[in-house]
Amino acid sequence: DEEEKKKSHSDGTDEKDNGNQTKAVSRIGNSNNPFLDIPHDPNAAVYKTGFLARKIHADMDGKKTPRGKRGWKTFYAVLKGTVLYLQKDEYKPEKALSEEDLKNAVSVHHALASKATDYEKKPNVLKLKTADWRVLLFQAQSQEEMQTWINKINCVAAVFSAPPFPAAIGSQKKFSRPLLPATTTKLSQDEQLKSHEAKLKQISTELAEHRSYPPDKKLKGKEVDDYKLKDHYLEFEKNRYEIYVGLLKEGVKELLSGGENDAPGLKKSHSSPSLNQESPVCAKVKRNVSERKDYRPETPSIKQKVT
Protein backbone atom coordinates (compact mmCIF):
# COMPACT_ATOMS: atom_id res chain seq x y z
CA ASP A 1 0.00 0.00 0.00
CA GLU A 2 2.84 2.38 0.85
CA GLU A 3 4.45 1.81 -2.55
CA GLU A 4 1.17 2.51 -4.29
CA LYS A 5 0.71 5.75 -2.33
CA LYS A 6 4.22 6.86 -3.31
CA LYS A 7 3.46 6.09 -6.95
CA SER A 8 0.21 8.06 -6.84
CA HIS A 9 2.02 11.06 -5.32
CA SER A 10 4.75 10.92 -7.95
CA ASP A 11 2.17 10.57 -10.74
CA GLY A 12 0.35 13.60 -9.39
CA THR A 13 3.48 15.75 -9.61
CA ASP A 14 4.08 14.57 -13.18
CA GLU A 15 0.57 15.60 -14.13
CA LYS A 16 1.14 19.14 -12.86
CA ASP A 17 4.39 19.41 -14.82
CA ASN A 18 3.11 17.93 -18.06
CA GLY A 19 -0.28 19.63 -18.22
CA ASN A 20 -3.88 18.61 -17.64
CA GLN A 21 -3.64 15.10 -19.14
CA THR A 22 -4.34 12.42 -16.55
CA LYS A 23 -2.01 9.45 -16.71
CA ALA A 24 -2.39 7.99 -13.23
CA VAL A 25 -5.10 5.55 -12.25
CA SER A 26 -6.90 7.24 -9.37
CA ARG A 27 -9.30 5.44 -7.07
CA ILE A 28 -12.91 6.09 -6.13
CA GLY A 29 -13.72 5.35 -2.50
CA ASN A 30 -12.82 6.14 1.08
CA SER A 31 -10.98 2.92 1.84
CA ASN A 32 -7.22 2.77 2.29
CA ASN A 33 -7.23 -0.67 0.69
CA PRO A 34 -6.46 -0.36 -3.05
CA PHE A 35 -8.19 -3.71 -3.69
CA LEU A 36 -11.56 -2.37 -2.47
CA ASP A 37 -11.64 1.11 -4.01
CA ILE A 38 -12.86 1.45 -7.60
CA PRO A 39 -9.98 2.00 -10.05
CA HIS A 40 -10.65 5.13 -12.14
CA ASP A 41 -8.62 4.95 -15.34
CA PRO A 42 -9.28 7.88 -17.72
CA ASN A 43 -7.58 5.98 -20.56
CA ALA A 44 -9.69 2.83 -20.24
CA ALA A 45 -11.66 1.55 -23.24
CA VAL A 46 -15.32 2.51 -23.61
CA TYR A 47 -17.52 -0.52 -24.31
CA LYS A 48 -21.04 0.91 -24.15
CA THR A 49 -22.84 4.24 -23.70
CA GLY A 50 -26.49 5.25 -23.51
CA PHE A 51 -29.27 6.49 -21.29
CA LEU A 52 -30.32 4.34 -18.32
CA ALA A 53 -32.76 4.93 -15.48
CA ARG A 54 -31.40 3.65 -12.17
CA LYS A 55 -33.10 2.46 -9.01
CA ILE A 56 -31.09 1.34 -5.97
CA HIS A 57 -32.75 -1.80 -4.66
CA ALA A 58 -30.25 -2.96 -2.02
CA ASP A 59 -27.20 -1.41 -0.37
CA MET A 60 -23.94 -3.09 0.58
CA ASP A 61 -24.25 -6.69 1.89
CA GLY A 62 -27.77 -6.90 0.47
CA LYS A 63 -29.38 -4.60 3.04
CA LYS A 64 -32.59 -3.17 1.68
CA THR A 65 -32.30 0.47 0.63
CA PRO A 66 -34.42 2.91 2.68
CA ARG A 67 -37.67 3.88 0.96
CA GLY A 68 -36.66 7.51 0.41
CA LYS A 69 -33.60 6.51 -1.62
CA ARG A 70 -35.26 4.02 -3.98
CA GLY A 71 -36.55 6.48 -6.58
CA TRP A 72 -35.77 6.20 -10.29
CA LYS A 73 -33.16 8.61 -11.70
CA THR A 74 -32.07 8.90 -15.32
CA PHE A 75 -28.36 9.02 -16.17
CA TYR A 76 -26.14 8.87 -19.20
CA ALA A 77 -24.33 5.59 -18.56
CA VAL A 78 -20.78 4.90 -19.75
CA LEU A 79 -19.24 1.45 -19.36
CA LYS A 80 -15.57 2.37 -19.34
CA GLY A 81 -13.08 -0.30 -18.31
CA THR A 82 -14.53 -2.13 -15.31
CA VAL A 83 -16.55 0.89 -14.14
CA LEU A 84 -20.10 1.90 -15.04
CA TYR A 85 -20.16 5.70 -14.81
CA LEU A 86 -23.56 7.33 -14.30
CA GLN A 87 -23.38 10.93 -15.50
CA LYS A 88 -25.89 13.75 -15.73
CA ASP A 89 -24.63 14.85 -19.15
CA GLU A 90 -23.64 12.90 -22.23
CA TYR A 91 -20.17 11.40 -22.41
CA LYS A 92 -17.35 13.59 -23.72
CA PRO A 93 -13.84 12.06 -23.67
CA GLU A 94 -12.14 15.41 -23.11
CA LYS A 95 -14.42 16.45 -20.23
CA ALA A 96 -13.37 15.58 -16.66
CA LEU A 97 -15.91 13.85 -14.44
CA SER A 98 -17.44 15.77 -11.54
CA GLU A 99 -17.31 14.54 -7.94
CA GLU A 100 -21.01 13.64 -8.12
CA ASP A 101 -20.44 11.56 -11.25
CA LEU A 102 -17.62 9.70 -9.52
CA LYS A 103 -19.82 9.04 -6.48
CA ASN A 104 -22.49 7.46 -8.71
CA ALA A 105 -19.94 5.20 -10.42
CA VAL A 106 -20.43 1.44 -10.02
CA SER A 107 -17.63 -1.09 -10.39
CA VAL A 108 -18.69 -4.16 -12.37
CA HIS A 109 -15.80 -6.41 -11.29
CA HIS A 110 -17.20 -9.79 -10.17
CA ALA A 111 -20.68 -8.44 -10.90
CA LEU A 112 -23.55 -10.17 -12.65
CA ALA A 113 -26.20 -8.53 -14.81
CA SER A 114 -29.45 -10.29 -15.63
CA LYS A 115 -33.01 -9.54 -16.66
CA ALA A 116 -35.07 -8.43 -13.66
CA THR A 117 -37.74 -11.09 -14.03
CA ASP A 118 -39.13 -10.37 -10.54
CA TYR A 119 -39.73 -6.67 -11.31
CA GLU A 120 -42.87 -6.05 -13.38
CA LYS A 121 -43.64 -2.35 -12.80
CA LYS A 122 -41.49 -1.19 -15.73
CA PRO A 123 -40.38 -2.87 -18.99
CA ASN A 124 -36.81 -3.54 -20.13
CA VAL A 125 -35.33 -3.61 -16.63
CA LEU A 126 -32.04 -5.37 -15.86
CA LYS A 127 -30.70 -6.24 -12.41
CA LEU A 128 -27.05 -5.70 -11.50
CA LYS A 129 -25.61 -7.40 -8.43
CA THR A 130 -22.15 -6.09 -7.53
CA ALA A 131 -19.20 -7.67 -5.73
CA ASP A 132 -20.26 -6.11 -2.41
CA TRP A 133 -23.81 -7.45 -2.92
CA ARG A 134 -25.45 -4.18 -3.83
CA VAL A 135 -28.44 -4.60 -6.13
CA LEU A 136 -29.29 -1.95 -8.70
CA LEU A 137 -32.09 -1.91 -11.26
CA PHE A 138 -31.57 -0.24 -14.64
CA GLN A 139 -34.26 0.47 -17.22
CA ALA A 140 -33.10 0.54 -20.84
CA GLN A 141 -34.91 2.19 -23.75
CA SER A 142 -35.72 -1.13 -25.46
CA GLN A 143 -35.49 -4.86 -24.89
CA GLU A 144 -32.61 -5.14 -27.37
CA GLU A 145 -30.74 -2.34 -25.58
CA MET A 146 -31.31 -4.05 -22.23
CA GLN A 147 -29.85 -7.31 -23.53
CA THR A 148 -26.83 -5.51 -24.97
CA TRP A 149 -26.12 -3.88 -21.60
CA ILE A 150 -26.39 -7.28 -19.89
CA ASN A 151 -23.96 -8.85 -22.38
CA LYS A 152 -21.42 -6.03 -22.20
CA ILE A 153 -21.38 -5.87 -18.38
CA ASN A 154 -21.02 -9.63 -17.99
CA CYS A 155 -18.31 -9.75 -20.67
CA VAL A 156 -16.26 -7.06 -18.92
CA ALA A 157 -16.67 -8.84 -15.58
CA ALA A 158 -15.69 -12.21 -17.05
CA VAL A 159 -12.58 -10.93 -18.83
CA PHE A 160 -11.16 -8.50 -16.26
CA SER A 161 -12.21 -9.71 -12.78
CA ALA A 162 -9.15 -10.76 -10.76
CA PRO A 163 -9.13 -14.08 -8.84
CA PRO A 164 -10.70 -13.69 -5.37
CA PHE A 165 -8.72 -13.70 -2.13
CA PRO A 166 -9.52 -16.26 0.60
CA ALA A 167 -12.20 -15.32 3.12
CA ALA A 168 -11.19 -13.91 6.47
CA ILE A 169 -10.42 -16.51 9.15
CA GLY A 170 -11.76 -16.09 12.67
CA SER A 171 -12.56 -18.09 15.77
CA GLN A 172 -16.31 -17.84 15.10
CA LYS A 173 -18.09 -20.19 12.70
CA LYS A 174 -19.98 -17.32 11.10
CA PHE A 175 -19.90 -17.43 7.31
CA SER A 176 -17.99 -14.62 5.56
CA ARG A 177 -17.62 -14.01 1.84
CA PRO A 178 -14.14 -13.90 0.26
CA LEU A 179 -12.60 -10.59 -0.72
CA LEU A 180 -13.12 -9.76 -4.40
CA PRO A 181 -10.39 -7.34 -5.56
CA ALA A 182 -11.39 -4.44 -7.78
CA THR A 183 -8.04 -4.49 -9.58
CA THR A 184 -8.05 -6.00 -13.07
CA THR A 185 -6.62 -9.47 -13.59
CA LYS A 186 -3.13 -10.04 -14.98
CA LEU A 187 -4.06 -13.44 -16.42
CA SER A 188 -4.33 -14.13 -20.12
CA GLN A 189 -7.72 -15.09 -21.57
CA ASP A 190 -6.87 -18.82 -21.48
CA GLU A 191 -5.60 -18.56 -17.90
CA GLN A 192 -8.69 -16.56 -16.95
CA LEU A 193 -10.93 -19.29 -18.39
CA LYS A 194 -9.07 -21.99 -16.42
CA SER A 195 -9.31 -19.89 -13.26
CA HIS A 196 -13.08 -19.47 -13.67
CA GLU A 197 -13.54 -23.18 -14.43
CA ALA A 198 -11.57 -24.14 -11.31
CA LYS A 199 -13.63 -21.74 -9.21
CA LEU A 200 -16.87 -23.10 -10.68
CA LYS A 201 -15.85 -26.66 -9.84
CA GLN A 202 -14.86 -25.68 -6.30
CA ILE A 203 -18.11 -23.81 -5.62
CA SER A 204 -20.26 -26.59 -7.10
CA THR A 205 -18.58 -29.07 -4.74
CA GLU A 206 -19.04 -26.74 -1.76
CA LEU A 207 -22.71 -26.23 -2.59
CA ALA A 208 -23.33 -29.98 -2.83
CA GLU A 209 -21.57 -30.59 0.50
CA HIS A 210 -23.39 -27.69 2.13
CA ARG A 211 -26.80 -28.98 1.10
CA SER A 212 -25.97 -32.54 2.17
CA TYR A 213 -25.85 -31.36 5.80
CA PRO A 214 -28.91 -29.16 6.36
CA PRO A 215 -29.46 -27.71 9.85
CA ASP A 216 -31.69 -29.48 12.33
CA LYS A 217 -35.33 -28.41 11.99
CA LYS A 218 -35.41 -27.75 15.72
CA LEU A 219 -32.71 -25.11 15.44
CA LYS A 220 -33.70 -21.48 15.08
CA GLY A 221 -32.00 -18.12 14.89
CA LYS A 222 -28.44 -17.40 13.78
CA GLU A 223 -27.44 -20.93 12.74
CA VAL A 224 -30.35 -21.26 10.32
CA ASP A 225 -29.83 -17.74 8.98
CA ASP A 226 -26.14 -18.42 8.48
CA TYR A 227 -26.95 -21.65 6.60
CA LYS A 228 -29.39 -19.82 4.29
CA LEU A 229 -26.91 -17.00 3.70
CA LYS A 230 -24.15 -19.41 2.67
CA ASP A 231 -26.55 -21.39 0.47
CA HIS A 232 -27.65 -18.18 -1.28
CA TYR A 233 -24.04 -17.08 -1.75
CA LEU A 234 -22.89 -20.41 -3.23
CA GLU A 235 -25.91 -20.61 -5.54
CA PHE A 236 -25.28 -17.08 -6.83
CA GLU A 237 -21.54 -17.67 -7.29
CA LYS A 238 -22.16 -20.90 -9.17
CA ASN A 239 -24.52 -19.11 -11.55
CA ARG A 240 -22.06 -16.22 -11.97
CA TYR A 241 -19.09 -18.43 -12.85
CA GLU A 242 -21.21 -20.55 -15.21
CA ILE A 243 -22.02 -17.40 -17.18
CA TYR A 244 -18.39 -16.21 -17.09
CA VAL A 245 -17.11 -19.57 -18.38
CA GLY A 246 -19.74 -19.66 -21.12
CA LEU A 247 -18.85 -16.15 -22.32
CA LEU A 248 -15.11 -16.82 -22.38
CA LYS A 249 -15.64 -20.03 -24.35
CA GLU A 250 -17.72 -18.14 -26.93
CA GLY A 251 -14.92 -15.64 -27.57
CA VAL A 252 -16.01 -12.74 -25.44
CA LYS A 253 -13.32 -10.32 -26.62
CA GLU A 254 -14.89 -10.19 -30.10
CA LEU A 255 -18.16 -9.05 -28.55
CA LEU A 256 -16.36 -6.41 -26.48
CA SER A 257 -14.51 -5.08 -29.51
CA GLY A 258 -17.73 -4.82 -31.53
CA GLY A 259 -19.98 -1.78 -31.89
CA GLU A 260 -22.02 -0.40 -29.04
CA ASN A 261 -25.31 -1.55 -30.53
CA ASP A 262 -24.25 -5.10 -31.27
CA ALA A 263 -27.05 -7.52 -30.55
CA PRO A 264 -26.35 -10.74 -28.65
CA GLY A 265 -25.06 -13.45 -30.94
CA LEU A 266 -23.82 -11.07 -33.65
CA LYS A 267 -20.45 -12.79 -33.53
CA LYS A 268 -22.01 -16.05 -34.68
CA SER A 269 -23.62 -14.46 -37.75
CA HIS A 270 -20.39 -12.73 -38.81
CA SER A 271 -20.05 -15.04 -41.82
CA SER A 272 -23.75 -15.11 -42.71
CA PRO A 273 -24.77 -14.49 -46.35
CA SER A 274 -26.47 -11.17 -45.56
CA LEU A 275 -23.26 -9.71 -44.12
CA ASN A 276 -21.18 -11.02 -47.02
CA GLN A 277 -23.53 -9.43 -49.55
CA GLU A 278 -22.97 -6.00 -48.02
CA SER A 279 -19.17 -6.29 -47.98
CA PRO A 280 -17.53 -4.93 -51.19
CA VAL A 281 -15.46 -7.97 -52.19
CA CYS A 282 -14.64 -7.79 -55.91
CA ALA A 283 -13.73 -11.45 -56.25
CA LYS A 284 -17.27 -12.51 -55.37
CA VAL A 285 -19.30 -10.10 -57.51
CA LYS A 286 -20.63 -12.79 -59.88
CA ARG A 287 -21.62 -15.05 -57.01
CA ASN A 288 -23.42 -12.24 -55.22
CA VAL A 289 -25.35 -11.31 -58.39
CA SER A 290 -26.57 -14.86 -58.78
CA GLU A 291 -27.58 -14.97 -55.16
CA ARG A 292 -29.56 -11.76 -55.59
CA LYS A 293 -31.35 -13.29 -58.58
CA ASP A 294 -32.30 -16.25 -56.48
CA TYR A 295 -33.76 -14.04 -53.77
CA ARG A 296 -35.64 -11.56 -56.00
CA PRO A 297 -38.72 -13.72 -56.73
CA GLU A 298 -39.32 -14.10 -52.99
CA THR A 299 -39.31 -10.35 -52.27
CA PRO A 300 -42.86 -9.47 -53.52
CA SER A 301 -44.47 -12.29 -51.53
CA ILE A 302 -42.68 -11.17 -48.38
CA LYS A 303 -43.91 -7.61 -48.84
CA GLN A 304 -47.46 -8.80 -49.32
CA LYS A 305 -47.31 -10.71 -46.06
CA VAL A 306 -45.98 -7.67 -44.20
CA THR A 307 -48.64 -5.33 -45.53
The per-residue pLDDT for range 19-56, each reduced to its tens digit, is: 444 444 455 554 444 445 676 777 889 999 999 999 99
Q: What pLDDT shows up at residue 243?
A: 96
Whether the CB-CB separation of 104 and 85 falls below 8 Å is answered with yes
- Residues 179-192: what's their mean pLDDT? 91
Nearest to 47 by CA among 270, 258, 264, 188: 258
Across the strands, what pairs with 85?
Answer: 78
Q: How far apart are CA 125 and CA 55, in angstroms?
A: 10
The per-residue pLDDT for range 100-145, each reduced to its tens digit, is: 888 889 999 999 999 999 999 999 999 999 999 999 999 999 999 9
Q: For the chain, give the percent of residues with pLDDT over 90.
A: 44
**190 has pLDDT over 50:** yes
**195 has pLDDT over 90:** yes
Q: What pLDDT shows up at residue 36?
A: 52
The per-residue pLDDT for range 68-103, each reduced to its tens digit, is: 788 999 999 999 999 999 998 777 777 777 788 888
Q: One-letter amino acid identity for 100?
A: E
Nearest to 241 by CA among 185, 186, 191, 199: 199
Q: What pLDDT shows up at residue 26?
A: 56
Q: One-letter amino acid identity for 178?
A: P
Q: How far apart are CA 120 and CA 110, in angstroms?
A: 26
Q: For the chain, give the percent of residues with pLDDT over 70.
A: 68
Which run of H or of E encompasses 138?
A: strand 135-139
Q: How far apart are CA 48 and CA 232, in angstroms?
A: 31
The per-residue pLDDT for range 257-286, each reduced to its tens digit, is: 654 444 433 333 333 333 333 333 333 334
Cβ neighbours of 142 (radius 10 Å) = 10
What is the pTM for the complete model shown? 0.72
